[in-house]
Amino acid sequence: MNGCGNEILVVDLRETSAQIRPEAARRLGEGAETHFDQIMAIHRPRTPGTDAYVRIVNRDGSDAQACGNGTRCVVQALSAETGQKRFTFETVAGLLLAEEHEDGSISVDMGRPRFSWDEIPLAEEFRDTRAIELQIGPIDAPVLHSPSVMSMGNPHAVFWVKEDVETFALDRFGPILENHPIFPERANISIARVTSPSSLTMRTWERGTGLTRACGSAACAAAVSAARTRRTGREVAVTQPGGTLSILWRDDDHVIMTGPAEWEWSGTLDPATGAFDRDTADSGEERVIG
């Protein structure tokens, strides 16, 4: 599936105790057909009142705490199977509430943002995380500097620029900044440009994945950081290479992300090895998992 261009493998493991192994994720990530940004592995509920436990796996086999675009894909897949429209998912970062609307768009409550340096986390204390001391390039003429940092269940750094975000070599800067010592758990690195009081454009180097056409939690981080630094209001259209998401930072501090999800094809995989067989009769009507 894809969520606003974010390549997602939705894997149904509800009828087994198997787990996606790191080597399986890496093999799938390297495949031309199975290349992905995140795996959303659906497991049986662990907690009463939830619909499923969802484990999120990056292309390098590491675990991720949040993936809003992937969560929308899970909602669409399960809704097609059951007709259910509202879901509560448990993840390693906590509970996610999600709903599919009549127009096919899907909203995910991404929870409350966290701004304290030790909750992001950062390796040293910064009292004001709206802009921290971090730059790349010559000290007297840095290419990027003073990012807004925060957590949306996973750590984010948003560098604000005035130029077109496509003009920056994020494929070169991203790995350096993702692994900078200031981020003990690594970080998602975004470049963002405000285009109006209610819109911005951005690109993201995703922790454990690399360049991606979209990242839901990064879109949330950019929108919240833009409002927090008074660059925009609290409702923002965030355009990434894969498309546009609507982000609302509500007055109750919850961040609501709304956008599309699209089914592409289905198949069967071995979660231990990553061996994969694509279904031979894929069609746009066959959208039920399981």
Contacts of 146 (CB under 8 A, 6+ apart): 131, 132, 133, 134, 135, 159, 160
C-beta neighbour count of 68 within 10 angstroms: 32
- According to DSSP, the β-strands at 144-145 and 148-151 are unpaired
Inter-residue contact 126 to 115 (CB < 8 Å): no
Are the C-beta atoms of 19 and 271 separated by less than 8 Å? yes
Q: How far is CA 203 from the centre of its chain?
A: 12
Question: β-strands 235-240, 255-259: how paired?
Answer: unpaired
Site of tokens 């995140």: 38
CA gap 53, 55 in Å, rounded? 7
Task: Please give the positions annotated as active site.
Answer: 67, 215
In this structure, the number of other CB atoms found within 10 A of the CB of residue 200 comes to 26
Q: Can you tell me the distance from the alpha carbon of 207 to that of 186, in angstroms, rounded to the nearest whole number?
A: 7
Give CA–CA dist 130/118, Å, rounded.
14
CA angle in degrees (0–180, nearest 5) for 159-164-165: 40
Residue 61 dihedral angles phi and psi, to the nearest 5°? 90, -5
